[in-house]
Amino acid sequence: MRIEQNESLSNQIVLAIRSSRNLAALFLGFVLAGVLCSAQQIPSMGSTPTPRSSSSAGGASIPRSGGSSGASSSNMTDQMSVGALTDSPIFPGETVHILVFDAPDFSLVTQVSDGGDVAVPMAGAVHVAGLNSATAGQAIAEKLQSMDLVTSPHVTVTVDTQAMGITILGEVRNPGIYQPSGKQLLSDVLAMAGGLSDNTGRVIEISNVSNPDKRVDLPWDPTMHNTANYDTQLHPGDHVLVRPCGIAYVGGNVGRPGAYSLCGSRVTTLSQIVDLAGGVQRFNSNSHTYLIRTKEDGTRVVIQVNIDKILKAKAADLPIQEDDVVYVTASALKLVAQEAVGWAISITGPLIYVYRP
């Protein structure tokens, strides 16, 4: 009886061992299947290497050709396509886009230095200020070829016209910073600023952030009779200051002494400004009217004129400039004579009234 029980127990143990072997084999099969799947995925992962980058001058990282993914290549193309070709000179401070075809290691977006240079990776500084897009691209291409960095390079240089605006200040209705597109003419930019105010003078000052000490005084006619300077071309970074109207001063023996604007006409003459001041009063000294003019160095020049001859068109009518002072002198002798006549009249009346023949 015990023998039969032992045989039955041994059979159960054998079955259990066989079952455990089957389970182990099954587990081992799952493990091997996972290893095979991993081995099949390794080549596809290795086909896309990690993009490498090289540092350009200025610290910007630029993907190397042939090693970037499709998304990186698309971003690079989008970045380099910004900007526009220009026939105007490139100025310091402008942002330029340099694209070297088939050699993206040398392509970059950078700002022109104060000295007018751009730093091209591995090629060093290239002077582009004063050049347009075509000549700047040619200069960079020659530098790359001379250093045996690129064979027959094709370089395109564009300028980011939105990077720097044009500042409009002074006698305009809406002063501010404007970023016009396309060709930037003075008249167009002034129109963008809302037009000129009623106190606009005859000089517009233009300077650029690259050389703020160099200023150009542009003659301007607010009456719009002379439009010779309306199409003056502006550049990114320009500062435009519309100066206020000039003032001249009239004093002495006139009806309304004071300060008067010179913007009423293209040229304001001595007779016109005296007329604005109410005209010459009685008993003036005809040959003792003085025009006091201040020079650029601060010195003053006194010009003596005969106002009577000017008013009668017997002498040249002098043009009045900004900050001129006109003084019409009264005649002391005429005033004394007038006072004497007045005194005589004042005492003659009572004498006539008292006298009886």
pLDDT tens for each residue of 24-52: 544 545 444 454 444 444 444 434 333 33
Is residue 171 located within the same domain as residue 235? Answer: yes
pLDDT of amino acid 107: 92
Residues 283, 335 contacting (CB under 8 angstroms):
yes
Q: Residue 23: inside a domain, yes or no?
A: no
Burial 166-193 (b: 16+ CB within 10 A, else e): bbbebbbeebeebebeeebebebbbebb
The answer on pLDDT for 53 being more than 70 is no
Is residue 233 located within the same domain as residue 256? Answer: no
Q: How confident is the model at residue 334 (pLDDT cuts 50, 70, 90)?
A: low
Is residue 272 located within the same domain as residue 194? Answer: no
Is residue 238 located within the same domain as residue 253? Answer: no
Q: Residue 256: inside a domain, yes or no?
A: yes
Is residue 145 located within the same domain as residue 89? Answer: yes
Give the pLDDT mean for 175-194: 85
CA–CA distance, 45 with 74 (Å, rounded to integer): 21
| Between 310 and 48, residue with greater pLDDT | 310
For the stretch 65-116, pLDDT in tens is 333 333 333 344 444 445 677 777 887 878 899 999 989 999 999 988 888 9
Is residue 209 located within the same domain as residue 222? Answer: yes
Q: How many CB atoms lie within 10 A of CB 100?
A: 24
Q: What is the CATH number of the domain that holds 212?
A: 3.10.560.10
Is residue 224 located within the same domain as residue 297? Answer: no
- The mean-pLDDT minimum among 227-241, 250-264, 339-353 falls in 339-353
Q: What is the CATH number of the domain that holds 109?
A: 3.30.1950.10
Identify the residue whose tokens are 């071309």: 233
Q: Residue 148: inside a domain, yes or no?
A: yes
CA–CA distance, 293 with 285 (Å, rounded to integer): 20
Which of 244, 264, 297 is a domain's end point?
A: 244
Domain of 312? 247-335
Is residue 73 located within the same domain as residue 148? Answer: yes
Q: How many CB atoms lie within 10 A of CB 221?
A: 15
Residues 219, 200 contacting (CB under 8 angstroms):
no
* β-bridge mates for residue 204, sequence order: 218, 242
Q: How confident is the model at residue 335 (pLDDT cuts 50, 70, 90)?
A: low
- The mean-pLDDT minimum among 6-20, 51-65, 98-112, 159-173 falls in 51-65
pLDDT of amino acid 310: 92
Q: How confident is the model at residue 161 (pLDDT cuts 50, 70, 90)?
A: low
Q: Residue 94: inside a domain, yes or no?
A: yes
CA–CA distance, 250 with 328 (Å, rounded to integer): 8
Give the pLDDT mean for 102-131: 91
Q: Residue 19: inside a domain, yes or no?
A: no
Strands, sheet with 211-219, edge to edge from the N-terminal-most edge strand: 176-178, 166-170, 238-244, 200-208, 211-219
Please give the helix or strand (H or E) that residue 135 lies within, else none. Answer: helix 133-146
Which of 244, 279, 296 is a domain's end point?
A: 244
Q: Residue 120: inside a domain, yes or no?
A: yes
> How many domains, the chain?
3
Which of 212, 244, 276 is a domain's end point?
A: 244
Phi then psi for residue 327, to 5 deg, are -125, 120
pLDDT of amino acid 249: 94
Q: Which two tokens stand for residue 179?
A: 């970023």
